[in-house]
Amino acid sequence: LLQIGDRVLSINGIATEDGTMEEANQLLRDAALAHKVVLEVEFDVAESVIPSSGTFHVKLPKKRGVELGIVISSASRKRGEPLIISDIKKGSVAHRTGTLEPGDKLLAIDNIRLDNCPMEDAVQILRQCEDLVKLKIRKDEDNSDELETTGAVSYTVELKRYGGPLGITISGTEEPFDPIVISGLTKRGLAERTGAIHVGDRILAI
């Protein structure tokens, strides 16, 4: 799941942000001796315009020995119905495109239709693909009902402070039902570096 260009934020719980390259390398050497390495990594997810419904194609680069990160399911599938993407592994090639989501229908792989293809065969096709994989995807209206109804997406962001500031400025009113809004982010601060928090976002819970 790790790729060149990923940013290492901590090694075995020790923050690397203010450390030197040599200190980080020493942490890795110490971790290797202990036979346990836990990395907290930050990476960029492509900013893609995701259609709410319809059929489109996604191209994923494939490297030998590296999984695409797509988990497919045939649960409750009837003959002729498409396979469903049940999960996208965090940090994977598929996740980093910013396009694929759980619930998407997988219609074809490299122009091979999957209408009557058993799930096991589809998994094998994905594994055998090389260089560039072309997926035909369908998003249905019912996958995006919640987005259309609320006009907003709710999600959880976990920030590990390590004693430092979060880099968030908030604003609100004295009214109990008015939202608390993120009015500013410190440049290169912890919150901004996640890429998941933006000015104008509403905080629902801490």
110 with 25, same domain: the answer is: no
Instruction: Supply the CATH number for residue 138's domain.
Output: 2.30.42.10
C-alpha distances (whole Å) from 118 to each of 72, 97, 165 are 11, 26, 51
What pLDDT shows up at residue 51? 59
Alpha carbons 108 and 149: distance in angstroms, whole number: 30
119 with 70, same domain: the answer is: yes
What pLDDT shows up at residue 106? 92
111-137 burial, b for 16+ CB within 10 Å, e for fewer? Answer: eeebeebebeebeebbeebeeebebbb
pTM: 0.50
The C-alpha angle 140, 141, 146, rounded to 5 degrees, equals: 120
Per-10-residue mean pLDDT of the chain, 206 residues long, equals 76 84 87 82 61 79 80 75 85 83 90 87 84 88 46 67 79 64 80 76 79
118 with 138, same domain: the answer is: yes
Total tally of structural domains belonging to the chain? 3
Domain that holds residue 82: 54-148
What pLDDT shows up at residue 108? 92
